[in-house]
Chains A and B, each alone.
Chain A
Amino acid sequence: MKKQFMVLISIVFLILLFVLGINLYKSQQIRKYGFMARENASTFVREHSQTLGSDDAKVYLVEFSDPACETCGAFHPFVKKLMAVNPGKIKLVVRYAPFHDGADYFVKILEAARKQGKYWETLEVMYQTQRYWASHHNPQPKLIWKFLPRAGLDLVKIRNDMNDPEIAKLIQQDIADAKALNVRKTPGFFVNGKPLPSFGYKQLKELVESEISEYY
């Protein structure tokens, strides 16, 4: 009987220790990112970062994303809806973390499209047609060209602009920042520098709403 009790106590103790560890780690991370957001805001938003939303917005939603990432595509309408529900309060910052093999190719197209003022249209087209050119995490760069005219792009110009070394530099910077912020999976969200407590639609919505109620 005593032995059963000992094992039971140990199990409870180990599980408690594990849960305590989770909480300690999470609160430590939140403090760390809060500090980084204050002291080193440029890690979250660079000069080159594409943004959407009002400049007066007080809630910065930084998204590390990859055009070839299916979950990023799934989150995109959700993020836009969040912004539509809270007009003028959220500023979306797109950062790149092209973790899929060859995904920087699509980032280059996207950045080249920006020079034609068609960034968001192109991103929309990419996410909508993603299943045709990046199904099962296997991006096929050639296939995307068929869909790009939908965004109203000048393809000849895109082919020229996408090789701009500035774009390659920008991608390098974003990858370095992703590493500094411990983003290992996409999409990686930060709301005013705070990471999601755990991944999911609900968690993102709650974090954004808590930031909104704090600043408005």
Chain B
Amino acid sequence: MTNLDKASNSNWNIIFICWIIASVSTLGSLFYSEIMEFAPCALCWYQRIFMFPLVILLLVGLFPFDKSIIKYALPLALTGWGFAFYHYLLYSGFIPESLQPCSQGVSCSETYVDLFGFLTIPMLSLISFSTLVALLLVLKRRLSK
């Protein structure tokens, strides 16, 4: 296998991992809302809006591998990351309750899930968006070389 092949293989793998992360996040959030019946708050909905299309978008970018996927996926991931970060700040109390732009029904700072004592839903979202942004940025650097 030539060096060029190896490089293109790992580029494909990066997008593949991104797609896995997006799929797991999507199914996970659907599990919380549809199976466990936690009503998603407004901020959760904005994060879902930017996460769900990545599943389709990244999959399309895999066959055949299309490096311009970064151009389309990165803005979505970055915007979603912004919402996730804001939600995390709100959730952990750095931004006061009164400022929250949530609907009356569901509070964005209510704790539904607390895995292992520290993993909450907003944190899971922030972790997956951060990983997605990081991986896409790595790929962007690799390709611009």
Chain A residues engaging chain B, CB cutoff 8 angstroms: 3-4, 6-7, 10-11, 14, 17-18, 21-22, 25-26, 182, 184-185
Contact = CB atoms under 8 A, between A and B. Distances in A.
A17 B28 CA distance: 10
A139 to B, nearest CB: 16
A14 B37 contact: no
A7 B30 CA distance: 21
A22 B39 contact: no
Contact of B27 (A4, A18, A25, A184): A18
Interface residues of B, number: 16
Given A22-B35, A26-B35, 11 more contacts: A3-B16, A4-B63, A7-B59, A14-B27, A17-B27, A18-B30, A18-B31, A21-B31, A21-B35, A25-B36, A182-B37
Contact of A7 (B27, B36, B62): B62
Contacts of B27: 14, 17-18
Nearest to B24: A14
B35 A3 contact: no
Interface of B: 12, 16, 19-20, 23-24, 27, 30-31, 35-37, 39, 59, 62-63
B39 A3 contact: no
Contacts of A18: 27, 30-31
A184 B16 contact: no
Contacts of A10: 20, 23
Nearest 4 pairs of A and B residues by beta carbon? A18-B27, A22-B35, A184-B37, A14-B23
